Structure formats: C-alpha cells, structure tokens
Structure 1
C-alpha cells in the first residue's frame, strides 16, 4: 500500500510540476480537467452526479472554463452567475422533483471546486507566476508534511477528534511553523526572481503562513463533507490517495489565498 501510494503520489506531483512549468494552455487544460473530475466527485458523493442540477452544473463549469481561457473581462463571474441560474431553472421547472439540498450542492460545487481550482491557473498568469505558483504547494503539502511529522513525534492533544482524529494541536502548530520556514527558505533562494513582491523573504513567509492556516480549513472541509456523505474517499483515480478532491482538498483553499496575497503584497 505504501509503495502504491508513493508511486502514484510521485506521478501526480510530476504531472503537476510539468504543467506548472509549461504554463499557458497546458496548465489551463490540466486545471480544467481536474476541476471537472473534482466537480463530478463532489456531485457523486452527494448522489446527484447524473441528475438535472448536476448537468446544469457541468454546463456552468464548462462555460466558466471557456471564459477563463478566453480571458473575457468579468467572464468568470458571468459564467458562475449563468451556471447558478441554470441550476435554479432546473429546480423551478422540475419542481418538486429535486430537494433544496441537491440544488444547493450543485451551486456550491461550482464555487467550491471549479472557481477555487481556477486560481492555480490565475496564479501562474501573474507576473513572476512561475516562481509564485510553488507557494501554493508549499502552503498545502509543506504544511501537511510538517504537521504529520510533528504530530507523529510529539502530538498529544487532539484538535478535532470528531472530524479528524489524527490531527493534533502540536501537529497544527508544527505545520504552520514548518510552512513559514519553507516560505523563508524559498524566498531566500528565489527572491531575485520574485521582483513583483516588495520583500520576497518576508512576503513568502507571510504567504506560506497564512496559506498553511487556510490549508487546514480546506483539509477539514473535505473531511467534513466525506463524513456527512458517509464516504471514505472521493474516488479511486489516484491509487493510495483516492480521488482528485482527496489530493487537492487543501490546494482548493491555498490557491486563492496565494493569489490574493501575492497581488496585495506586490501592490
């Protein structure tokens, strides 16, 4: 099991890194693909993946991706609005076929998966985006790794025993501290390439720390959804890891945070 998890994790990381380095249409296609798969996984977890609200959600997601790629001014906002209207239209014209929780899940899926995931592409499109985008993964996976190590070594106090029994307060603190340290190191090494940031080392540390904090929320949010829907994993696409949402749950939250902070700190 460990070997399978390790190999599949390395493959996913290699694909993600290659897409980030190439950028442009390659990265866009990668982000669009995992967004659509993630949306399907969320809808399947809620039992609506083949129902009318989900179909409308898929159409809204495709429209969002098209306008994002075309760089239409305020296109993504318009696409999200159209997707929501389509889902509500299905609700109204088929009433009372679908329950309100199915409708809200279909709408939330657009924001939670498609919109948040698109910030990976948006970060790459920033000035210095090639060097800013790794911060997304430092925030998420760096924090997760450091939290795991610290938690295994000295973790004693459970943070959210009902939601995530293995997470400890010590691991949480260690994960944030580790991410900040990784951010500092990253800023020190690549600072000359991060000319859009005011003070690269400081700004990278801030982005990593805040991003790591939000990454924990992203991880717990995905766990909460799985517990509410009674599933262990979102899918089996990535052997040993589960589905796209199992591997990118915290990325969904760190990507927009990195984008917002990079823009604000570079102002």
Structure 2
C-alpha cells in the first residue's frame, strides 16, 4: 500500500490561494445581492462555526445539541429578516442555548456549548445588519472585508518574508511581530482606501479618513487577537484545524476568527441602535 505524496509548499500555497479567491468571490456576490441570499449565506457560515466549535469541544450528545443550536441560529435569521421585535430576539437567544446546555452531559461541556451560540450568532447577525444599515450599507461591509482580508494576507506574507521575533509562541508558534505590524499597516491603508472610494462616489463612512484609519488599525489588532484566540481554543482541544472543509485553510472557524472579532466591535456599536430604533 503506497502513501499519498506529501504536498509541497508551492502546492499548498496554490491551494490556499484558489480557495481564498473562491471564498472572496462568494462573499462579494452574496453582499451584492443582499437581503435573503446574504442572510442565508451568513447563516450557513454561523452553522458551520457552531458545528466545528461543538465538535472540537466534545459536546455530548453531539447531534441533538447541534440540532437545537442550529434551530436557534436559523430562528435568529428568520427573526432578523421578518423584522421581529427585540423581545423575540432575546427569547430565542436565551431559550435555544439554554435547552442545548440542559441536555449536554458534563459541566465543562455545558460551558462550551453555552458559549458556542453567542459566538456563532455574531457571525449570523452582524453582516446582514451592516448590509441593510441605511447609512453604512455595503460600503461598511466592504470596509470590514477589506480590513480583515488585508490583515490576513499582509500578515501571512510579511511574516514569511521578514520573520523575526515570535508574536505569541505558546499559542501560535508561526506568527511573528513583523507579520502583525504588516497586517496592521495593510489594514489601515485598505480601510482608508475603501472610505476614500466611497467618498468619491458620494458615500461616506462616519469618521472621515483619519478616523477610519484609526478604526482600521483597531479592527486589525482585534482581528489578529481573534485569530490567536481561536488558535488557543484549538490547542486546548488538541486539533490542528477546526475542520477540513476548506482546502488549504482548514475549517470555517479558521477563516472567520479574525472577521468574528471585527464583527464583535461592530456589534457593540450597531446592535443596540438596530434593536432600539
């Protein structure tokens, strides 16, 4: 019996690039459509995140727990699309994770299951809310994409090219300070570029170009902290990737960890206004 050949670095990079192009194209197309297609796109992403989280952390009984949490996430999307009241959102956000936690075996596993729902819910809710925002809309969404993608790409290639001191060896031994700084600089430039293009076409983000540069830097730092946080979770669970769904990248959590952190920042600003106005 012969073993399959080990992929070369160039092959791995090619696979990674092709997968990234496909994912970026899918995200941009869904963003262009908006509405139901866009909300369902992010529901699928949130469901994948929840499935990976609960599988990695060993929730038992796995399928019943995932079914309850999945119904809860789908319910949040339905409530969002039908513009339901804030009270219904609160009820769904409490009842479904409570039921899933109740049927989970083991106190430690209950904590992981309870935390999986809000983590996935941020991915499910924030991008559609941003897309439909009357003043931010698709420009705000493109800013989020640009900052996260620029951070990921620049950090990866700057770190490989320059090397140097490690950023956080106990959690992620390959990440470097040079990659971190490269990601921050690229994010600031990309965020300002999106804001400038928006102004050129009569669309404005609220803070002006200097303010967007600062916010882009904050978002880039948050994105890289989110990446480290997910790496810490994988180390805790003793897995290399959250799943093997995306060739060259691992799982959906592996691709959305930084975006999740930026969504969290946006959520702290947007969600209170969305549900109270």
- Structure 2 gap segments, 5+ residues each: 1-11, 273-277
When residues 129 and 100 of structure 1 are mapped into structure 2, their CA distance, relative to the original with a 3 A threshold, is same
1:187 Cα deviation after fit? 1.6
Q: From 219, 225, 229, give the equivalent of 1:221.
A: 229
1:254 Cα deviation after fit? 1.0
When residues 35 and 198 of structure 1 are mapped into structure 2, their CA distance, relative to the original with a 3 A threshold, is closer
Structure 2 counterpart of 1:8: 19
Alpha-carbon deviations, 1:116-136, whole Å to 9, x = none?
A: 442111111112311110111
Q: Distance in 2 between matches of 1:68 and 1:234?
A: 28
Alpha-carbon deviations, 1:123-176, whole Å to 9, x = none?
A: 111123111101112221211222223323333111100111111222212211
Q: Distance in 2 between matches of 1:122 and 1:239?
A: 29
Alpha-carbon deviations, 1:203-248, whole Å to 9, x = none?
A: 3323311111110111011111111111111112211111111111
Q: From 83, 86, 98, give the equivalent of 1:71.
A: 83
For structure 1, which segment, 115-124 or 155-164, has the greater mean C-alpha deviation from structure 2 after superposition? 115-124
Alpha-carbon deviations, 1:60-116, whole Å to 9, x = none?
A: 22222221222212133321111232134425xxxxxx1111111111111112234
Ranges of 4+ aligned residues in structure 1 off by more than 6 Å: none
Quote the RMSD (CA, aligned, Å): 2.3
Q: Distance in 1 between matches of 2:204 and 2:85?
A: 23
For structure 1, which segment, 254-263 or 215-224, has the greater mean C-alpha deviation from structure 2 after superposition? 254-263
- Using structure 1 for the length normalisation, give the TM-score: 0.87
When residues 245 and 217 of structure 1 are mapped into structure 2, their CA distance, relative to the original with a 3 A threshold, is same
- Structure 1 gap segments, 5+ residues each: 92-97
Q: Distance in 2 between matches of 1:84 and 1:38?
A: 15
1:192 Cα deviation after fit? 4.1
1:84 aligns with 2:91: no
1:51 Cα deviation after fit? 4.9
- Using structure 2 for the length normalisation, give the TM-score: 0.84
